Chains A and B, each alone.
Chain A
Amino acid sequence: AQSVTQLDSHVSVSEGTPVLLRCNYSSSYSPSLFWYVQHPNKGLQLLLKYTSAATLVKGINGFEAEFKKSETSFHLTKPSAHMSDAAEYFCVVSNSGYALNFGKGTSLLVTP
């Protein structure tokens, strides 16, 4: 079985401060892991993906995530939040090569 747990349903940060969105995964095999972002009234967009090539993965818009097998974690970070980062973020795992298993999401609020 494969699943992800997003540890925070809501995260609030001030503009210009670091962002940390936490995700733990459960997988019987070497997983593919992803972070997707969903802005209101827009489609899901891939931020970054891990497929075993490198444990530190850089994505779009300054986001990055580190795969830690010993901790079964794949946390998403960004050094400095921007107002436009406010959105819903999903941690995703896939073993099958087709079905994506999404977490419940973390809503990121960025305050001025």
Chain B
Amino acid sequence: DTGVSQDPRHKITKRGQNVTFRCDPISEHNRLYWYRQTLGQGPEFLTYFQNEAQLEKSRLLSDRFSAERPKGSFSTLEIQRTEQGDSAMYLCASSHRGLGNEQFFGPGTRLTVL
């Protein structure tokens, strides 16, 4: 399977715990994006990377959120001190700037904070 993969697919945690999600983009895609989707809403942009550089962060990305893409390949999204309002589907997408920049989405990680 050469699509975008995300791990885990589901995560249940207690309020106050830290969680980390991983995204593996399509091979050789130089751009990687994170979005958040809550029930009944469309996805909302959180942040994006070009290679290993984080070039843009939404105001939705509070200080408790941090994203990395250390070698320009996979990316991690960490949420510290989770709150119930963090419960959502976290989507990762990747694209290649030189190939039309179409964003291909992964299946998402569903986070439930109890």
Residue ranges of A at the interface with B (Cβ–Cβ < 8 Å): 36, 41-46, 49, 90, 92, 96-105
Which residues of chain B in 92-108 are interfacial with respect to chain A, using CB atoms and an 8 Å cutoff?
A: 93, 101-108
Does B70 touch A at the CB level, under 8 Å?
A: no
Residue ranges of B at the interface with A (Cβ–Cβ < 8 Å): 3-4, 31, 33, 35, 40-45, 48, 55-56, 58, 91, 93, 101-108
The answer on a CB contact under 8 Å between A100 and B103 is yes
The answer on a CB contact under 8 Å between B42 and A46 is no
* Contacting residues, chain A, for B106 (C-beta < 8 A): 43
Q: Choose among A36, A43, A45 the residue with the greatest number of B CB atoms under 10 Å from its CB.
A: A43
Could you give 26 example pairs across A and B, Cβ below 8 Å? A36-B105, A41-B107, A43-B105, A43-B107, A44-B43, A45-B105, A46-B102, A46-B103, A46-B104, A49-B102, A90-B43, A92-B42, A97-B101, A98-B33, A98-B48, A98-B55, A98-B56, A99-B45, A99-B56, A100-B35, A100-B103, A102-B42, A103-B42, A104-B40, A104-B42, A105-B42
